[in-house]
Amino acid sequence: MNKTRTAALASLALALPALAACGGDDDGAVTLRYAFWDDNQRPALEAMIAAFNEDHPDIEIELEQNPWDDYWPGLDSRFAAEDAPDVFWNHVSRFPTYADNGVLLPLTDYIEEDGLDPSVYPENLYDSWRFEDDQYGLPKDWDSIALVYRIDALEAAGIDPATVGDLEWNPVDGGTYVEFLQKLTIDANGNNALSPDFDPENVVQYGTAMASSTGQTDWWNYAVQNGCSLQTEPWGDYAIDAPECVEAIQFTADLYNKWGVAVPAESTNQPNGGVPGDYVVAGQAATALDGSWMLSFYRDGLEPGTWAVADNPSGPVGSGTVINGLSNAVYAGTDHPDEAWEFVKFLGSEEAQAIATGMGSVWPGVSSLNQDFADYWAGEGIDVTGFQTAAEGTTIGYPLSMNDAAFGTAALDEFNQVWLGQKDAQEAAEAVVELANAE
């Protein structure tokens, strides 16, 4: 049982800024702290840092890792303490608030002085790190969602993997997608969910696993595929109470409760449940609509040749999803802005990102390397074009808003109840919109 440590932290942050600053090292060497959250990407980061140190032996990089749910509160409190890491992973959902509050170092002048060519990045990806005429980051990567499935589960259910890319769903009868998931939902006696003898109390494998702190790897996919764009416009109000959104939220709830083809929300609800990949790797689920950043997780957890990637199912308006990207940002209060820029410039370079794509880590920010990434995975026997297809068509960008924190908290809180079958989708969506648009 702790002291009111939250309050203590906040106040220490205010009371002790003098203790926070750490000076330069004795021998002229500089240490930069670099914060990130994704454990899957650690090997690639370490390899990029090793390459950076070949040319910059006097800049030492210290990695600081925290899981997603702790990463942001930790970062915020260290902004308050004026002791934030010099360089850190930034996410578009947090970016507007950070830029607006001046905790990010504008990189515009550095980019101009060094004559950096922004056209090596996709234009929309580069521009997503622009705020009021200043650039605050170089694209580190991009990601999208596609259907990851276990080949062995499909074969056992008598489903031809070649048909997986053509699945369709609708909110009325579920379509071929729900039928596909029903065939993959198997009870202890080996009956699937379509069989009259199926025992829903003793399921050993579910058709799909859904879990997300944000919506990105659960209901957003069905929302976009049903024509819901989450906001009235980028930077606009949240609009998830629109009929097409509520219908998709209800469809997600139906996968849990009406058709019973998803790993129960009692297990998957965030922030304490597992991520979809946990259930697929463990054999508790046959498929997941999962992020490209999880590829190395599946590679490390499953035997080669037992899993694959396909296009997302199509909803009433298409097979779109939400794409997103990260950038490396520099803390405005860093003691070493020049060195931090050197490091960020390197991380944004083709040379550095080629290291990450060569390890199959993430889709690169530098467009010319996309093929390298696809080639790496082809070498592993995985066709990853599903993620590229998912980045096109009706796909939308990550919602942009100053109210992301309020939206995120309200959505998780309300929809967790909907997934559990304890709350009506319409009512929950209205509650979220009211809370998120209030500020």
Partner 1 sequence: MRTLPVAEPRSETETARRAAPRAGRRRNLRTAVEAYGMLAPSLIGFAVFLIAPIVVVVVLSFFDWNLLSDPEFIGLENYRELAGDERALRSIGNTFYYVLLNIPAQTVLALLLALALNAKIKARNTFRVLYVLPWMAMPVALGVIWRWVFDPAYGALNRFLDLFGIDGAAWLTSSAWAMPVIASVNVWQYTGYTMLFFLAGLQAIPAQLYEAADVDGASPVHRFFAITLPLLRPAMLFVLITSVIGSFQVFDTIHVMTAGGPAGSTATLNYQIYLESFTQRNAGYASMLAVILFAIIALITLTQAALFRKRTVYDFS
Q: What one-letter code names the amino acid at 270?
A: Q
* CA distances from residue 241 to 216, 232, 425, 433, 437 in whole angstroms, order as listed: 17, 11, 9, 7, 12
Binding residues for partner 1 (CB under 8 A): 1-8, 10-15, 72-73, 76-77, 79-80, 97-98, 101-103, 201, 263-267, 269, 271-272, 284, 405-406, 408-409, 413, 416-417, 420, 422-423
Nearest to 22 by CA among 387, 233, 333, 434: 333
Residue closer to partner 1, measured from CB, 13 or 330: 13
Nearest to 413 by CA among 398, 429, 394, 393: 429
Give the sign of the dihedral formed by CA 95, CA 408, CA 169, CA 269. Answer: positive
Least distance in Å: CB of 249 to partner 1? 16
Q: Are the C-beta atoms of 328 and 347 separated by less than 8 Å?
A: yes
Q: Are the C-beta atoms of 1 and 53 separated by less than 8 Å?
A: no
Helical (H) or strand (E) element with 363 = strand 363-364
Least distance in Å: CB of 89 to partner 1? 17
Residue closer to partner 1, measured from CB, 263 or 369: 263
Least distance in Å: CB of 327 to partner 1? 18
Least distance in Å: CB of 431 to partner 1? 11
Residue closer to partner 1, measured from CB, 97 or 394: 97
Other C-beta atoms lying within 10 Å of the C-beta of residue 409: 13
Residue closer to partner 1, measured from CB, 108 or 422: 422
Nearest to 408 by CA among 278, 216, 258, 167: 216
Residue closer to partner 1, measured from CB, 8 or 22: 8
Nearest to 147 by CA among 304, 324, 314, 310: 310
Least distance in Å: CB of 73 to partner 1? 4
Least distance in Å: CB of 394 to partner 1? 31
Which structure tokens are listed for 208? 């799909």
Counting every residue written for the chain, the total comes to 439
Least distance in Å: CB of 376 to partner 1? 34
Residue closer to partner 1, measured from CB, 344 or 410: 410
